[in-house]
């Protein structure tokens, strides 16, 4: 019997564009959300002599990256959050850092693994944690503890959901019975018009995932850490998949430019080409922003 092909953990997005803006030639390149190792592999195959530090909060991602990068040298993979990248670099003597890639997307593996609870159309426990080994509560427990006001805030801020008030009220009324993705999806479908259900489900599940994993706080902290860690001339590339992440990336790069520490390389976000979107529909919402750490001038 023929072996079944290994499940793809994640399909990297905008690989050519990432390499164009990152220019990984020497020093240490950090793939701060290494995922299945697709971008990391392309970085290490790029002509040059860089080292790669791959970080991911999901231990399953680290395991996948180890398999993908097993035959390559100059790789270190660490199960951790990218907010801790500066401590990781300094404790391992990996300076100078000449590039940081931050890919904020959710992986295909996370979305399609029933036990992870990320997908509204896949039955499973309502978990949604990137790191199930951590002490953070899963989604169903977070909802059980939350007030109606807190849930309403998540739906409005993280999901930009028009039916936030109605859905938050119904979640509050039934939160002790919300244990699976099917439970939550059924509640959402019964709360909105049928023709609005699919987009509403996507927004509600996104909002809850962001709340469970403190994603936006971590994105802001991670971007600040990356900018501070880069050596002069080093490059930062940020890939975002929804407007909230992209807004944080835009603001962070703008603040760095105003402070005189960054040259912004992308006045507008770079979008995937049509050919990529046709072969990988998940790339459709991607936005790439990039900047270069300025080289300090002589003191006067």
Q: What is the pLDDT of residues 219-263, one digit of tens each?
A: 999 999 999 999 999 999 999 999 999 999 999 999 999 999 999
In a domain, 161, yes or no: yes
> What CATH number did the domain enclosing 76 receive?
3.40.50.150
Which residue in this structure is represented by tokens 């960054």?
A: 262
Q: Report yes or no on 128 lying in a domain.
A: no
* CATH number of the domain where residue 160 is located: 1.10.150.170
Provide the pLDDT for residue 10.
65
**Number of structural domains the chain divides into:** 2
The whole-angstrom separation of Cα 188 and Cα 153 is: 16
Give 207: exposed, middle or buried? Use CB within 10 Å, 0-12, 13-18, 19+.
Answer: buried
Examine the pLDDT at 207 and tell me if it is beyond 50.
yes
* Same domain, yes or no: 28 and 97: yes
Residue range 278-290, pLDDT digits in tens: 999 989 999 999 9
Mean pLDDT calculated for residue range 26-48: 93
pLDDT, tens digit, 9 for 90 and up, residues 44-70: 999 887 999 999 999 999 999 999 998
Asked, for residue 162, whether it belongs to a domain, the answer is yes
Q: Are residues 221 and 73 in the same domain?
A: yes
The pLDDT of residue 2 is above 60? no
Q: Does 200 lie in the same domain as 232?
A: no
Per-residue 3-state assignment (H helix, E strand, C coil) for 184-202: HHHHHHCCCCHHHHHHHHH
With bands split at pLDDT 50, 70 and 90, how would you rate the model's confidence at 135?
confident
Which of the listed residues 213, 237, 269 is the one where a domain comes to its end? 213
Model confidence, pTM: 0.92
Q: Are strands 51-56 and 75-79 parallel, antiparallel or unpaired?
A: parallel
Q: Output the pLDDT for position 73.
A: 84
Q: Which of 213, 245, 265 lies at the terminal end of a domain, its last residue?
A: 213
> Same domain for 81 and 202?
no
pLDDT of residue 257: 97
Tell whether 45 is covered by a domain: yes
Residue 260, Cβ neighbours under 10 Å: how many? 10
Looking at residue 94, its pLDDT comes to: 96
Q: Compute the C-alpha angle 241/273/256, nearest 5°.
A: 50
Block residue for tokens 């959050």:
81
In a domain, 239, yes or no: yes
pLDDT digits (tens, 9 = 90+) for 183-203: 999 999 999 999 999 999 999
- At residue 248, the pLDDT reads 98
Query: Facing residues of 204 across strands?
Result: none
Q: Is residue 123 part of a domain?
A: no
Q: What is the pLDDT of residue 106?
A: 87
Q: Is residue 245 part of a domain?
A: yes
Q: Give the DSSP letter string of the chain.
A: -PPPPPPP----SSHHHHHHHH---SSEEEETT-TTSHHHHHHHHSSS--EEEEEES-HHHHHHHHHHTTT-SSEEEEES-GGGHHHHHHHHT-PPEEEEEEE-PPPHHHHH-GGG---TTS-SBS---S-TTSSSPPHHHHHHH--HHHHHHHHHHTT--TTHHHHHHHHHHHGGG--BHHHHHHHHHTTS-GGGHHHHHHHHHHHHHHHHHTHHHHHHHHHHHHHHHEEEEEEEEEEESSHHHHHHHHHHHHHHHHTTSEEES-SS-B---HHHHHH-GGGTT-EEEEEEEPPPPPP-
User: For the segment 140-185, what is each residue's pLDDT rounded down to a tens digit?
Assistant: 999 999 999 999 999 999 999 999 999 999 999 999 999 999 999 9
Task: Supply 243's token pair.
Answer: 């407007």
Contact 104, 238 (CB under 8 A): yes
**In terms of residue numbers, what domain contains 69?**
15-108+216-293
Residue 5, pLDDT score? 37
pLDDT at 72: 86
How does pLDDT run across 111-122, given as a tens digit for each residue?
A: 899 999 999 999
221 and 265 fall within a common domain:
yes
- Residues 194 and 172 occupy one common structural domain: yes
43 and 162, same domain (yes or no) = no
How far is Cα 86 from Cα 229, in angstroms, rounded to an integer? 6
Per-residue pLDDT, 108:
85
Question: Among the three residues 166, 197, 213, which one is the final residue of a domain in this structure?
Answer: 213
Q: Is residue 85 part of a domain?
A: yes
What are the pLDDT digits (tens) for 86-102? Answer: 999 999 999 999 999 99
Mean pLDDT across the stretch 23-35? 94
Same domain as 35, residue 90: yes
- The first and second tokens of residue 37, run together, are 């190792």
């Amino acid at each position: 019997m023929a072996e079944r092909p290994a499940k793809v953990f994640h399909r990297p997005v905008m690989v050519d564009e990432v390499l164009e803006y990152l220019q990984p030639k020497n020093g240490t390149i950090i793939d701060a959300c290494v995922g299945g190792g697709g971008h990391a592999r392309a970085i290490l195959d790029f002509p040059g002599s860089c080292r790669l530090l791959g970080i991911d909060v999901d231990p399953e991602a680290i395991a996948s990256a180890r398999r993908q990068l097993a035959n390559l040298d100059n790789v270190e993979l660490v199960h951790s959050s990218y907010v801790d990248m500066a401590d990781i670099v300094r404790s391992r003597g990996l300076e100078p850092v000449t590039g940081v890639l931050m890919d904020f997307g959710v992986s295909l593996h996370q979305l399609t693994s029933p036990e992870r609870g990320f997908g509204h159309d896949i039955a499973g426990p309502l978990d949604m944690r990137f790191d199930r080994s951590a002490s953070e509560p899963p989604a169903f427990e977070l909802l059980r503890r939350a007030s109606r006001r807190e849930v309403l805030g998540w739906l409005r801020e993280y999901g930009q959901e028009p039916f936030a008030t109605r859905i938050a009220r119904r979640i509050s009324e039934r939160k002790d019975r919300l244990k699976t993705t099917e439970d939550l999806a059924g509640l959402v479908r019964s709360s909105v018009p049928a023709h609005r259900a699919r987009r509403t489900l996507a927004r509600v599940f996104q909002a809850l995932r962001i709340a469970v994993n403190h994603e936006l706080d971590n994105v802001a902290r991670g971007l600040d850490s990356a900018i501070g860690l880069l050596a002069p001339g080093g490059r930062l590339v940020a890939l975002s998949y929804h407007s909230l992440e992209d807004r944080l990336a835009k603001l962070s790069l703008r603040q760095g430019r105003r402070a005189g520490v960054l040259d912004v390389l992308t006045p507008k976000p770079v979008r995937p080409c049509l050919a990529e979107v046709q072969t990988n529909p998940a790339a459709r919402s991607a936005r790439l922003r990039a900047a270069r750490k300025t080289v300090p001038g002589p003191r006067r």
